[in-house]
Amino acid sequence: MAQRVVVTGLGLVTPVGNDVESTWSALLAGRSGAAPITKFDAAALQVRFACEVKNFDPSEYMDRKEAKRYDAFVQFALAAAHQAVTQAGLEGRFPSPERTGVVIGSGIGGMRTFEDQCSIYLTKGPDRVSPFFVPMFIPDIAAGLVSIRYGTKGPNFATVSACASSAHAIGESYTMIRDGKADAMITGGAEAAITGLAIAGFQNMRALSTRNDEPETASRPFDRDRDGFVLGDGAGVVILESLEHAERRGATILGEVIGYGASGDAFHMTSPAPEGEGAQRAMRAALADAGVDPAGVGYINAHGTSTEQGDIAETEAVKAVFGEHARRLVFGSTKSMTGHLLGAAGALEFAVSLMVTRTGKIPPTINQFNADPACDLDSAPNRMVERGVDVAISNSFGFGGHNATIAVRGWR
């Protein structure tokens, strides 16, 4: 018999807050996390701003010697995992470690480590490359280290599907619990790709906004004058459990995962399929898995990256799937504030979708100055909306044509 899957813990490290409470408050207030880059000298780049994580102190979650051995994306993952595990009341006492797993996605992994060690190799020679180089940068190491920290011995791996990585991580974790292959999962995503090399690559493919003089207004999903996405760093981790497992230990339940859909575009390396055909199939699959009629959805956290093709294709996909109801729900993009966390975006936006069902408050899509006629759905432009939402879905789409949609329901 299929198991019901519930959420019992959330943890976030984001460009607008270093925990769930501060992140949620910033999003409801419409606060942008974009600012000039501080982590390195960006003077030579065309794009000199991003959504960095601010005032993060890894020593709150690990000792300084340990932190030096971890890339920033791992530090963020461990911090978010600690928050989630603590909220779930599971710190140090997972009831069934052999049936508790970890799946944490990352689109890029330890980019800063890779860049730094490559420079050392080229300037100082191979003998000076750190022996920690490989375990510091590989994308799966976050999942491995979280598993080691909490002694979980169930399914343990990473998902790497570009900007859909952590949505796939949560979706696959949900599936394993639903199908009885695990009782609990620590799952989500982490990314720390704000480096000179990564920005140079994205800027040269003309994917990034170039509004260096006004970074706070640079991320403009669905706005006619959008000119690309803003790169962001951070992590999101959630605790999923079977309902039976959660109730047996008296856990506080935050919400329920009710559906997951995944698809491939089979179309283009970076561009979405026409009319968001792949996105349509992911959303339909998630709704079918959830047993929910499209009219039952009150909020969609859009992938909404602030790119011309992507925003239009996703809008067309939502219209195709939801019909007339598309104009009655809120279809908003929190990337207008957080920027695009790449492989961590899906986990952050899953948490946002869950919070919407818990609070009845929907964050705005900021920087809406001139509406794009092709993106004519209600994105809660520049305003927080208060509305009861029973079911919300979160969309994540990655380079390579990877699509994932997760449906959540508020806990009753």
DSSP 3-state percent helix, strand, coil across the chain (nearest 5)? 40, 20, 40
Closest CA to 226 of 249, 207, 246: 207
Among the listed residues 51, 82, 163, 375, the single catalytic one is: 163
Closest CA to 164 of 313, 326, 345, 294: 345
303 is a catalytic site residue? yes
> For 146-168, b where at least 16 C-beta lie within 10 A, e where not — what string?
bbebbebebbbbbbbbbbbbbbb
Among the listed residues 168, 303, 375, 402, the single catalytic one is: 303
Distance CA 245, CA 262 (A): 26
SS3 string of 353-405?
Answer: HHHHHHHCEECCECCCCCECCCCCCCCCECCCEECCCCEEEEEEEECCCEEEE
Distance CA 103, CA 368 (A): 36
82 is a catalytic site residue? no
Among the listed residues 82, 168, 245, 340, the single catalytic one is: 340
Distance CA 18, CA 39 (A): 17
Backbone dihedral angles phi then psi of residue 95, each to the nearest 5 degrees: -65, -35
Distance CA 296, CA 287 (A): 10
Distance CA 97, CA 165 (A): 24
Cα–Cα separations (whole angstroms), residue 235 to 67, 146, 153, 398:
16, 13, 22, 17
51 is a catalytic site residue? no
Residue carrying the six token digits 């999003």 = 27
Closest CA to 221 of 305, 107, 146, 121: 305
Count each helix (H run) and each strand (E run) in the chain, helices first.
13, 14
Active site residues: 163, 303, 340
